[in-house]
Amino acid sequence: MARGSFREHLLRVREDAIISSVNHLLAEKGFDLMTVDEVAADVGIAKASLYKHFASKEALAAAAMVRVLERGAALLDELAARPELTPLARLRAVARWALEQQLLGEMPTLPSQNSTLRAELLGSKAYVDLLMKSSDQLGEWIVQAQASGDIDPTLPPEVVLYTVFARACDPVPGFLKAGGQFSDEQIVELVLRSCFDGLRARS
């Protein structure tokens, strides 16, 4: 292996370690409480070395979100390749994945109101492209599910889309897990049931 390619490989490995650390810290503590010093210490590198890879805390968060969206996009591709699944089943599978990732501590938590972070995210072509691709695919399934009567057709599709996206940062799983009465699998099923089937008693 050439010296240059070996060095590039080491840099990629280090960046992967940094992003994994950021992902866990964002899931555990959130963006506001996570510090660059914590990330550097967790990876075992100097803070100055970390800044050679990512220029800011916001850039770290953006990289973590790109990683999550890449995994989510891969899931969407897998679901799209399964013709036996209805659009509703695919939407439920996406929500299930988001809830499971959250319970595993793999889903980053970012503030909805932070202009600097928002600018960083919107400035990331990879983030915007993945977000648009995922939104378009989910939107297609939502329209199909509404046409078949599986989802209320009077709901604006974007409301359904945001409801599915919101499962990634839903506080309910954390509250139920802290209560200790339900297993992770039970929590996922309960949240999916309340999300897709509603709270009204069925006759």
Instruction: Quick: pLDDT tens for 12-42.
Output: 888 999 999 999 999 888 899 999 999 999 9
Higher pLDDT, 6 or 118: 118
Q: What is the pLDDT of residues 101-130, one digit of tens each?
A: 999 988 888 887 888 988 999 999 999 999
Cα distance between residue 62 and residue 164, in whole Å = 21
Question: Where are the chain's structural domains?
Answer: 57-197
Q: Which CATH number fits domain 57-197: 2.60.120.10, 1.10.357.10, 1.10.3470.10, 3.90.650.10?
A: 1.10.357.10
**According to the per-residue pLDDT averaged within each range, which of 3-7, 51-55, 88-92 is highest?**
88-92
The answer, yes or no, to whether residue 2 has pLDDT greater than 60, is: no
Is residue 60 within 8 A of residue 18, CB to CB? The reply is: yes
Task: Inform me whether the pLDDT recorded for 162 exceeds 50.
Answer: yes
What pLDDT is stored for residue 191 in this prediction? 96
Beta-carbon contacts of 95 under 8 Å, excluding residues fewer than 6 positions away, are: 164, 167, 192, 195, 196
Position 10 confidence tier, pLDDT thresholds 50, 70, 90: confident
Our CA angle for 160, 165, 169, nearest 5°, is 130
Distance CA 88, CA 80 (A): 12
Residue pair 107/31 in contact by the 8 Å Cβ criterion: no
Dihedral (Cα; 111, 113, 116, 120), 10-degree rounding: 60
Asked whether residue 1 carries a pLDDT value surpassing 50, the answer given is no
Angle between helices 87-103 and 57-80 (to 10 degrees): 140
pTM recorded for the entire structure: 0.88
